Structure 1
Amino acid sequence: MRHTLPIAPQFYVTAPQPCPYLEGRMERKLFTALQGDMATKLNDSLSKQGFRRSQNVLYRPSCAECSACMSARIDVSKFTPSRSQRRVAKRAAHLNRRATSPWATEEQYDLFREYLDGRHATGGMADMDMFEFAAMVEETPIRSRLIEYTTEQDLTAVCLTDILDDGLSMVYSFFDPASEKLSLGTYVILDHIAIARELGLPYVYLGYWVPGSPKMDYKAKYKGLEVYRGGEWTPVKDPSEYRADMHPLSTDPIAEQVARIDLPDGRT
């Protein structure tokens, strides 16, 4: 009988390109394909090491002289809402939540276009058509859900969410930009914290927090926030202590980064 050993994931680095968060800087990503029988375990393992999913790819920032981008998550057991967050939850309490399979609809795409046109008209996703949107939602080799928030008549917010073995990962969310008074971006995060508690999951993964980027300031407002830095998760006590200064030794060489990655079968 012929036996084959599992093939270890191969890691690659993107070419430098302009950073979307900090002006005048260049970003670079370390990434690997997410596919095959080990996809779920690989996603669970690498998410704990600061990686994020985009369709069938896992990636992590690996910029040459900048380490400002840090993977962020909320420790659900340590989260308590602020006064303003309690007001947001109360204002949006009339919304209905529905979890569905990751299947794109025209109604979702219409809301997605309104969101981009109203909030990110010059961003990298501004030109996405329906087919590209469907690929973003549907091309997932792991357990994902589309969580929709609706009024009695309209779809108001959507979040593509991965279900990890230790939490919920908010892959991408969008909402009605005309409903600014409802603070829907905040409400979706608060509701994901509630869902994690309902499921007994300890964390809600928020993506990357970038000190110095106005686009990312909101993530530092959640109690129980942790960031992945120096190979471990640490609580954020004072956001002002984190800086986005550049330094030529702030990022280890790619080979050293890859060598320290723990794979789900116990290998590095």
Structure 2
Amino acid sequence: MNRHLPTKLGLSQSFPCNYLPNKQEQLLVILEPNCYNDTGYEALLNLGFRRSGDQIYRPHCAPCFKCRAIRVLVNDFIPSRSQKRKIKKAQKHFTVKSSVVPKDEYYSLYEKYINERHNDSSMFPANEEQYKSFLLCSWLPITYIELYDDDKLIAIAVTDLLNNSLSAIYTFFDPEYENFSIGTVMVLEQIKLANSLNKKFVYLGYQIDDCKKMNYKNQFKNHQILEFERWISI
């Protein structure tokens, strides 16, 4: 699969891993300008890349292979009984909307989420420049899936809309609603949107089994894991 990689690549310096203690992280970064469009990016998603802000990257941390790209097979997705209960509970209390334009109130929700739930991460403390450089993108259409409690915005799922797939970039929500399993609910809403648009995959980023914050994505079945350059159905 490496033969399909662009010729212009960069390798970041090593830095402490954000997910696993006592590990170092490096990123392989796409430098080829022709890749920075929806078609080029979707091809790179198939190779295990994803984006952060305007930049496309994937982990390159040999000999560690803990970060494994994961994607849900939309047509084969079967929600578990637990997931059905969670979405049913959310539907009783909340309303789902969407926007293709980021709204001013998104940042205050993001700030609250990071500062209260991720104050032990490299993203703390949140600031508006970090928010924009992490989530927004100048070259790709983005859909913002919104969750409301009456008129109160309580969650946002930042979602890239591509020709054959959706890519889940990041979800943030009001920590006061954590008992509603908002993270799970928003992934289910992304899968629902993909199904309505006849998309084949929902890319969920990286499954990291040894990281508590990143080991939940394999609960969405049926899915595929990228193992040594091959997508394996689970």
* TM-score under structure 2 length normalisation: 0.91
**Counterpart in the other structure of 1:101:** 100
8 Å contact 2:97–2:145 — kept in the other structure? yes
**Counterpart in the other structure of 1:164:** 162
Identity of aligned residues (%): 31
**Counterpart in the other structure of 1:154:** 152
**Which structure 1 residue ranges, 5 or more long, are not aligned?**
1-7, 237-268
8 Å contact 1:103–1:137 — kept in the other structure? no
**Counterpart in the other structure of 1:63:** 61
Q: Distance in 1 between matches of 2:142 and 2:58?
A: 20
* One-letter amino acid of the counterpart of residue 95, structure 2: N
Q: How does 1:181-200 map to 2 (within 5 A)?
A: 181-200=179-198
C-alpha displacement at 1:132, in angstroms?
2.8
8 Å contact 2:50–2:58 — kept in the other structure? yes
CA displacement, residues 227-263 of structure 1 (integer Å, 9 cap, x when unaligned)? 1122121123xxxxxxxxxxxxxxxxxxxxxxxxxxx
Q: Distance in 1 between matches of 2:36 and 2:158?
A: 21
**Counterpart in the other structure of 1:39:** 37
8 Å contact 2:100–2:141 — kept in the other structure? no
C-alpha displacement at 1:38, in angstroms?
5.4
Match of 2:49 among 42, 48, 51: 51
**Counterpart in the other structure of 2:119:** 121
**Aligned pair count?**
228
**Counterpart in the other structure of 2:3:** none
C-alpha displacement at 1:97, in angstroms?
1.9
Q: Distance in 2 between matches of 1:38 and 1:14?
A: 19
* One-letter amino acid of the counterpart of residue 86, structure 1: K
**Counterpart in the other structure of 1:245:** none
8 Å contact 1:44–1:164 — kept in the other structure? yes
8 Å contact 1:103–1:134 — kept in the other structure? no
Q: Secondary structure at the match of 1:86?
A: helix
Q: Distance in 2 between matches of 1:36 and 1:154?
A: 40
| Distance 1:216-1:125 versus aligned 2 partners, 3 A rule | same
**Counterpart in the other structure of 2:231:** 233
8 Å contact 2:115–2:126 — kept in the other structure? no
| Distance 1:33-1:98 versus aligned 2 partners, 3 A rule | farther
